[in-house]
Structure 1
Amino acid sequence: MLLYQAFIIGLYAAWGKWFGIYGSFGQVMPFFFTPVLAILLGKSPVDALMIDAAIALAFYGVMQIGAVMPQDTGFGGTLGLGFALILNQKPAIAVALAVPISMLAVVVWNLLKFWFTTNVEVFDKYIDERNMKKFNRLWWIQMAVYILTYFLLAFLAVLLGTHGIKAFVTSIPKPFLSGLTVAAGMLPAVGMGMLLKYVWNIEFLPFFIAGFLLGAYLKLPIMAISLFGVVFGLIMFFIDRHINDVKKSNQAQAVTAGPSTDDDEGDFFNE
């Protein structure tokens, strides 16, 4: 059974890496394929989505700038989700596993990136020689190594590490486990704080306070607050569009009227 589970999670990790090649569209993958993974593992799709959402929120503030990857959130999230599903653990355990795994996985990415970089000169050589056959072959070799590496890592991690992870999880004292649960709940706030650091504008303050009041005092759920955010966003959108329309109208009227002329000014220059 464990061999089958390791194979499925290995395929999931490889598919995620392949899917992630196509940019930010790959970020929506978990919401489509996580239930499928849960069904293949014989687990509840709802539990899998809850765990995956907790992991995604924990990585909310992680930003990859260019080729610099601070954390491999995709691979770490895959193994955190996989271990949590196999061991029937709570989202807090998945987050506690996903974060360090994502940091360790960066080492693998850096090694692969080093090899990819050394192949640049070879690609340039094939381009100069107009040898597209060798160019394409090297490209697909790179892709195969890239995908196969993450498949094997996930496969071996689950196959060889599940018993160790299980022993580790069962040995965690309950107070410490409660602390992990609290920390997992705080990580989304840390991620949002990191994002606000880059996009914060004092003009957003009323909306920030409104969201806090809706949650803290009116006890509204996250979905309701999100819908209020959509409403506020639409209001600001239509207000900005109206202001831009007025500005364009004023500019068009100014151009149509032409430069203002004054008789006294004309007499002065004529003199």
Structure 2
Amino acid sequence: MLVKALEVAIIYYVIYYVNQSLGVWQFNRPIIAGPLVGLILGNLHTGIILGATFESVFLGVIAVGGTIPADALIGSTIGTAVAILTGASSSKALAIAVPVAALGAITIQITFAYMALFLPKMDKLAKEGNQKGVVRWHFIMSFMTPLLNTVAIFFAILLGVDAIKNFLAVLPKFVSNGFTAAGEMLPAVGFAMLLNMLFKKKYFIYFFLGFALVVYLKLPNLAVAIFAVVVAMLIYDLEQKIINNHHNKLSDREAQTTPGDLKKSEEEDFLS
């Protein structure tokens, strides 16, 4: 278990570092973390399934403004690892991942608190114009940022998997059924949160289109996704043509307009 705990902790560290420090944005999503954890633990199939399951739950959990959301990465990492190592179902893994993700929001605030101790050093280097020093400390701080959660994941897997396995074995049937029901509802909650943020009248028609394709035409999700990409590309191409035509008309208008007429047109636009 020592080796497996170390492997899971390392994969978490790498995912976090690549996302935050190297700027590969959204690399920390559950749909990426799940398969990587599954691959490192020798069960890629389960990792892919759990990654997709956790992604549907945490799809609408994003940072807006100064808020710190639940940490989907640490939740999906531990949830996937525990499910593979204990043989727990996806619903039980989900019941573990969600509270762990909420706890991750606290640990990341602790991380930001101790990382703030290095900011005066960065400010001093910036005032001195020491670009190399700023870059050097950027990478030093980047290496230290995931350490707290990495250590927490290591000990959670090392010390907690056997306890979790025994706990799940003696869990009453009604509690287990409750976990299953919650696991089936949470993806709907994740999508509802996302739709609530993206709701616009001119876009909402596409939601009903997708709903009709799945419910009435019985299309699989992959077919709907391909259809959506094609529609998005067609709309983008149409909008680009409209923009280009508009620019061409403006260029033709400017080419046919004398400086005096142009000045008069600018004054009319200003007054209007």
Q: TM-score range by the shorter chain?
A: 0.7 to 0.9
Q: 1:23 aligns to what SS in structure 2?
A: coil
The aligned counterpart of 1:78 is: 77
The aligned counterpart of 1:216 is: 215
Amino acid at match of 1:115: Y
The aligned counterpart of 2:152 is: 153
Aligned partners of 1:91, 1:135: CA distance in 2, in Å? 44
User: Unaligned regions of 5+ residues in structure 2, if any?
Assistant: 262-272
The aligned counterpart of 2:168 is: 169
Mark the CA change 1:24 to 1:177 in structure 2 (over 3 Å): closer, same or farther.
Answer: farther
Q: 1:15 aligns to what SS in structure 2?
A: helix
In the TM superposition, what is the alpha-carbon distance from 1:223 to its structure 2 partner? 0.7
State TM-score, norm by structure 2. 0.81
Aligned pairs, number? 258
Do the aligned residues in 2 keep the contact of 1:55 with 1:91 (CA within 8 Å)?
no
Aligned partners of 1:205, 1:138: CA distance in 2, in Å? 46
Structure 1 residues 51-60 or 61-70, which shifts more?
61-70
Mark the CA change 1:67 to 1:254 in structure 2 (over 3 Å): closer, same or farther.
Answer: same
Aligned partners of 1:200, 1:125: CA distance in 2, in Å? 45
Aligned partners of 2:238, 2:143: CA distance in 1, in Å? 51
Q: Deviations over 1:170-200 (max 9, x none)?
A: 2334444344334323333322222222322
Structure 1 residues 24-33 or 96-105, which shifts more?
24-33
The aligned counterpart of 1:38 is: 38
Aligned partners of 2:209, 2:130: CA distance in 1, in Å? 61
Do the aligned residues in 2 keep the contact of 1:10 with 1:154 (CA within 8 Å)?
yes
In the TM superposition, what is the alpha-carbon distance from 1:137 to its structure 2 partner? 7.3
Q: 1:119 aligns to what SS in structure 2?
A: helix
Mark the CA change 1:18 to 1:256 in structure 2 (over 3 Å): closer, same or farther.
Answer: closer
Do the aligned residues in 1 keep the contact of 2:58 with 2:72 (CA within 8 Å)?
yes
Matching of residue 249 in structure 1 with residue 224 in structure 2? no
Aligned partners of 1:144, 1:205: CA distance in 2, in Å? 42
State TM-score, norm by structure 1. 0.81
The aligned counterpart of 1:99 is: 98
Mark the CA change 1:235 to 1:135 in structure 2 (over 3 Å): closer, same or farther.
Answer: closer
Amino acid at match of 2:84: L
Aligned partners of 1:164, 1:45: CA distance in 2, in Å? 24
1:259-270 superposed matches below 5 A: none
Mark the CA change 1:211 to 1:39 in structure 2 (over 3 Å): closer, same or farther.
Answer: closer
Do the aligned residues in 2 keep the contact of 1:55 with 1:94 (CA within 8 Å)?
no
Q: Deviations over 1:183-234 (max 9, x none)?
A: 3233333222222223222112332211111111222111111111112212
Give the number of the structure whose alpha-carbon radius of gyration is greater: 1
Matching of residue 202 in structure 1 with residue 201 in structure 2? yes
Percent of paired sites with the same residue: 26
The aligned counterpart of 2:23 is: 23
Aligned partners of 1:240, 1:139: CA distance in 2, in Å? 41
Aligned partners of 1:210, 1:128: CA distance in 2, in Å? 55
In the TM superposition, what is the alpha-carbon distance from 1:129 to its structure 2 partner? 5.9
Q: Deviations over 1:74-121 (max 9, x none)?
A: 111111111011011222222211111011122221112111223212
Q: Deviations over 1:31-63 (max 9, x none)?
A: 667555434423x21111111111122110011
Do the aligned residues in 2 keep the contact of 1:16 with 1:29 (CA within 8 Å)?
no
Amino acid at match of 2:155: L
Do the aligned residues in 1 keep the contact of 2:38 with 2:80 (CA within 8 Å)?
no
Q: Superposition RMSD on alpha carbons, in Å?
A: 2.9
Amino acid at match of 1:85: I
User: Unaligned regions of 5+ residues in structure 1, if any?
Assistant: 261-271
Do the aligned residues in 2 keep the contact of 1:19 with 1:26 (CA within 8 Å)?
no
Amino acid at match of 2:230: V
